[in-house]
């Protein structure tokens, strides 16, 4: 029974059976109350079945399978479609060290997600390799049972870090490269970084055993679409799967226009004219990239057609930002704060209920609903949650 006396430390009402000034037990009591209330609240929104079963499903019956973890909001590139330098300039307020999740906190959350059926974790950023000692986080996560641990990088630091990442347990990498033409690539990355150094990173990843390396190319009509055939030619020789990504209205700073989107169908048409292609079945439900193989057996390409062929129906992905907010869609306008639960000492059960509650209420299908009215929504920046 809560009494009328207040704790001198917290000002909270003391329970009748507490001695005066007994702060610690008072706060602990209060926090336990809060979590009990939170657990009860979240549990009330959780489908009874989910407390027992592993697989969580959302309002469109999509299971939670993939977690993308942004380990930093910082990047050493300023790609025009993601982090335009006019916005992300020298005075931009990036997250501070104490605002971002520690490796321990990330690992703890990852364990809860894995217990909920997540089988694949992809480390992203910003640029994940600018986060110091990332291999230590990889080592922690790679000990989680049955996990496919991947990473997406701009390749700038990969040559130095590939061996340590592999040794720590990383499974594979996707490397972003938008053109082999030096001036086009330097324009797109916004910092004058060279193609050769990214190619060195890809070579180092292959040599370290982080293959099959996939290469991501964002295609913006009028900027790098003339690079499609040279990129396809280069990477079919290297045995890397090249994934063409339609230019997207991510965030609200890249001044996206539909006219600058080159549809996936047009990309396929151009390549097919040079190297005949045939469609392939997806490797698994919810696979992001549409697969096409070269009829001459020289590998395959992928098309990520979020704008012209929305794939929300099978979307099983969620994203954790560097400061511990959970976003249920790449185009979300708000995230759910898990960090405060973590730092307030919440139990795994409370974290688990919170995540279950969030996913259960998920109804996102932005790409199916995209219109000229949606592109200016205050969507979270892609650099904040990873692509």
Q: For ligand SF4, which is the closer residue by CB, 236 or 319?
A: 319
Nearer to ligand SF4, 270 or 309 (CB): 309
Cβ–Cβ < 8 Å for 277, 107: no
> Who's near 297: CB < 8 A, 6+ residues apart?
none
CB 223 within 8 A of CB 256: no
Nearer to ligand SF4 by C-beta: 69 or 330? 330
- In the complex, the smallest distance separating the C-beta of residue 331 from ligand SF4, rounded to whole angstroms, is 5
Phi then psi for 174, rounded to 5 degrees? -110, 135
Residue 362 Cβ, how far from ligand SF4 at the closest point, in Å? 8
Closest CA to 71 of 24, 146, 113, 133: 133
For ligand SF4, the closer of residues 74 and 319 by Cβ is 319
CB of 176 to ligand SF4, least distance (A): 18
Angle (CA) 28-30-36 rounded to 5° is 100
Strand, coil or helix: what is 357?
A: helix
Q: 139 and 168 in contact (C-beta within 8 Å)? A: yes
CB 16 within 8 A of CB 32: no
Burial label for 83, CB within 10 Å (0-12, 13-18, 19+), is buried
Neighbours of 239 (CB within 10 A): 12
Whichever of 301 and 330 has its CB closer to ligand SF4, that residue is 330
Q: How far is the CB of 248 from ligand SF4 (least distance, A)?
A: 9
**Of 152 and 367, which CB lies nearer to ligand SF4 in the complex structure?**
367
Q: Are 319 and 327 in contact (CB under 8 A)?
A: yes
Find the shortest distance in angstroms from Cβ 315 to ligand SF4: 3
Place of tokens 């060290």: 97
Distances (CA, A) of 138 to 11, 121, 150, 188, 215: 43, 10, 9, 29, 21
Q: Which residues contact 138 (CB under 8 A, 6 or more apart)?
A: 123, 149, 151, 165, 168, 169, 170
> Which spans of this chain sit near ligand SF4 (rule: CB under 6 A)?
306, 311-312, 315, 317, 329-331, 364-367
Q: How far is the CB of 363 from ligand SF4 (least distance, A)?
A: 9
CB closer to ligand SF4 out of 324 and 386:
386
**Closest separation between CB of residue 5 and ligand SF4, Å?**
51
Q: Least distance (Å) from ligand SF4 to the CB of residue 11?
A: 43
245/350 with CB nearer ligand SF4: 245
Closer residue to ligand SF4 (CB): 29 or 249: 249
Smallest distance from the beta carbon of 317 to ligand SF4, in angstroms? 6
Interaxial angle between packed helices 158-168 and 195-208, expressed in degrees from 0 to 180 and rounded to the nearest 10: 20
């Amino acid at each position: 029974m809560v009494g009328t006396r207040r704790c001198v430390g917290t000002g909270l009402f003391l329970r009748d059976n507490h001695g005066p000034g007994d702060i610690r037990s008072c706060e602990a009591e209060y926090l336990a109350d809060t979590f009990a209330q939170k657990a009860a609240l979240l549990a009330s929104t959780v489908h009874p079945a989910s407390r027992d079963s592993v697989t969580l499903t959302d309002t469109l019956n999509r299971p939670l399978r993939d977690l993308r973890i942004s380990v930093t909001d910082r990047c050493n590139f300023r790609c025009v479609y993601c982090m335009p330098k006019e916005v992300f300039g020298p005075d931009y307020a990036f997250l501070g060290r104490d605002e971002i999740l520690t490796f321990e906190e990330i690992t703890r959350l990852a364990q809860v997600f894995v217990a909920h059926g997540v089988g694949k974790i992809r480390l992203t950023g910003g640029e994940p390799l600018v986060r110091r000692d990332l291999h230590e986080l990889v080592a922690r996560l790679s000990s989680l049972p049955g996990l496919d641990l991947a990473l997406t990088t701009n390749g700038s630091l990969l040559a130095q870090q590939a061996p340590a990442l592999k040794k720590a347990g990383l499974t594979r990498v996707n490397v972003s490269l938008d053109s082999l033409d030096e001036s086009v690539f330097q324009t797109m990355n916004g910092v004058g970084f060279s193609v050769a150094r990214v190619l060195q990173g890809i070579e180092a990843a292959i040599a370290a055993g982080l293959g099959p390396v996939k290469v991501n190319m964002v295609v913006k009509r009028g900027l790098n679409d003339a690079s499609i055939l040279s990129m396809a030619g280069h990477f079919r020789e290297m045995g890397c799967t090249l994934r063409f990504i339609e230019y997207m209205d991510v965030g609200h700073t890249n001044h996206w226009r539909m006219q600058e989107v080159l549809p996936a169908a047009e990309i396929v048409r151009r390549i097919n004219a040079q190297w005949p292609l045939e469609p392939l079945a997806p490797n698994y439900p919810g696979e992001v990239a549409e697969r096409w193989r070269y009829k001459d057996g020289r590998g395959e390409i992928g098309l990520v057609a979020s704008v012209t062929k929305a794939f929300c129906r099978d979307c099983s992905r969620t994203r954790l930002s560097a400061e511990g907010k959970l976003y249920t869609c790449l185009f979300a306008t708000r995230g759910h704060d898990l960090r405060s639960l973590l730092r307030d000492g919440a139990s795994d059960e409370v974290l688990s209920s919170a995540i279950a509650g969030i996913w259960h209420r998920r109804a996102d299908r932005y790409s199916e609903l995209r219109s000229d009215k949606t592109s200016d929504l205050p969507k979270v920046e892609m650099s904040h949650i990873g692509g």
